[in-house]
Amino acid sequence: MHPPLALHAERLTKRYGRRTALADCDLSVPRGHVVGLVGPNGAGKSTLLQLACGLIAPTSGTLTVLGSPPAADAAHLARVGFVAQDTPVYPSLTVAEHLRMGAWLNPSWDSTLARRRVDEVGLDPAQKAGRLSGGQRAQLALALAAAKRPELLILDEPAAALDPLARREFMHGLAGFVRELGAGAVLSSHLLGDVAQVCDHLVVLCAARVQVAGPVPDLLATHHRTAAAPAGAEVVWAEPGRVVVRGPAVRDGAPVTLEELVLAYLSRAATRPAVTR
Ligand SMILES: Nc1ncnc2c1ncn2[C@@H]1O[C@H](COP(=O)(O)OP(=O)(O)OP(=O)(O)O)[C@@H](O)[C@H]1O
């Protein structure tokens, strides 16, 4: 029997009043991968991640996380770590108090890992979280989520507030955690360099729909750039002098980068009519 998927969505739809954030999304993400969720502002990334954490409920369709409905019970909640977009912390509590609270709230808390991580990223245990910089807060939030030893880490633009060097270290730390925990991760990001650095699986979301999803090596192997579309090829995006096609290698074709691939799907989606009710 196959282990349950990290995420599995069927016709997943979420509406906020008249606004459709996700429309009939089908998605299967295997376990143990680091998944990059990319898409423009308003694409529905946070909505998908909040649905996966059980913070909001779908309008229709289904979503399972590690084989169960999101936040099905306390045991399931413990298997999923979440770092929200604004990396919320308690401003009046110190770093050390956050770790103590984590230990108190989580049965599977790994205090050695938490302390080691706080130490590695140079956080002062006595510092109040309200006085941390945005980047330090993100590091604390990642340490708290990882010390739960979750099977799946869900991160909504976790490194948005970090400077380039801190971001690289954060991503490096994230990749290390995932390996150490034997976990999977899903992270949304606008930074394709970050995604290319740590993600081995890609989901492109645009205009409330999944545009393309799959293992990064497979996607890169099945997309090519050419100067002009060959007859019969599936064209993802064409502009003067540059065509991205999907399928077997084409004569005179060149490999695409992750960035080209993402931009091709985003450009294609942007030219289609928006989803309305
Ligand atoms: N609580 C809410 N009430 C009403 N509309 C909402 C709410 N949350 C999100 N939306 C709408 O749903 C759509 C998707 O929003 P979402 O935050 O999921 O996008 P996103 O891809 O995470 O965007 P960003 O990259 O800007 O963070 C947007 O049109 C947004 O305005």
* Rounded average pLDDT over 22-40: 93
Shared-domain flag, residues 157 and 62: yes
Say whether pLDDT at 172 is over 70. Answer: yes
pTM attached to this predicted model: 0.92
Task: Give the model's confidence band at 70: pLDDT under 50 very low, under 70 low, under 90 confident, else very high.
Answer: very high
Are 197 and 228 in the same domain?
Answer: no
Q: Which residues form the domain of 89?
A: 7-210
Q: Is the CB of 46 under 6 A from ligand 1?
A: yes
d(Cα 147, Cα 113) in Å, to the nearest integer?
A: 6
Q: Do 120 and 244 lie in a common domain?
A: no
* pLDDT exceeds cutoff 90 at 265: yes
**Closest atom of ligand 1 to CA, residue 157:** 27
Confidence check: pLDDT of 80 > 70: yes
In the predicted model, is pLDDT for residue 270 greater than 90? no
Whose Cα sits closest to atom 2 in ligand 1?
A: 16
The domain tally of the chain equals 2
Mean pLDDT in residue range 58-84: 91
Mean pLDDT in residue range 101-113: 92
Mean pLDDT of 26-54: 93
Pair 11, 96 in one domain: yes
ipTM > 0.90 for the complex: yes
| Sole residue written with tokens 């010390």 | 147
pLDDT for 249 equals 83
34 shares its domain with 171: yes
**Distance from the alpha carbon of residue 133 to the mean position of ligand 1, in angstroms:** 25
Decide whether any atom of ligand 1 lies within 6 Å of the 14 Cβ.
no
Residue 217 resides in a domain:
no
Per-residue confidence (pLDDT) for residue 161, from 0 to 100? 76
Find the CATH number of the domain harbouring 200: 3.40.50.300
In a domain, 54, yes or no: yes
Atom of ligand 1 nearest to the CA of 85: 27
- Span of 104-113, 116-125, 153-162, 205-214 with lowest mean pLDDT: 153-162
Domain end residue (candidates: 210, 235, 255): 210
The closest alpha carbon to 223, from 190, 193, 194, 264, belongs to 264
Say whether pLDDT at 153 is over 50.
yes
Do 156 and 266 sit in the same domain of this protein? no
- Is residue 193 located within the same domain as residue 61? yes
Mean pLDDT of the chain: 90
| Best of 13, 14, 19, 188 for a ligand 1 pocket test (most atoms within 8 Å of beta carbon) | 19
Please indicate, yes or no, whether residues 256 and 193 belong to a single structural domain of this protein: no
Q: Name the domain boundary from 177, 210, 243.
A: 210
Whether residue 43 lies inside any domain: the answer is yes
Co-location of 77 and 188 in the same domain: yes
Does 108 lie in the same domain as 14? yes
How many other β-carbons are positioned within 10 Å of the β-carbon of residue 220? Answer: 17
Looking at the structure, do residues 44 and 171 belong to the same domain, yes or no? Answer: yes
The residue whose CA has the least distance to atom 5 of ligand 1 is 16
Q: Is residue 258 in a domain?
A: yes
pLDDT of residue 277: 42
Residue at a domain's end among 210, 245, 262: 210
Atom of ligand 1 nearest to the CA of 50: 18
- Is 85 within a domain? yes
> Is residue 75 in a domain?
yes
Q: Give me the pLDDT at residue 276, please.
A: 43
User: In this structure, are 147 and 256 located in the same domain?
Assistant: no
pLDDT tens digits, residue range 183-225? 899 999 988 988 998 999 999 999 899 999 999 999 999 999 9
Q: Does the pLDDT value for residue 2 go beyond 70?
A: no
User: How confident is residue 273, by pLDDT bands cut at 50, 70 and 90?
Assistant: low
Q: Quick check: 95 and 129 in contact, CB under 8 A?
A: yes
Give the mean pLDDT of 110-125: 93
- With a 6 Å cutoff on the Cβ, whether 39 touches ligand 1 is yes
Q: Does 263 reside within a domain?
A: yes
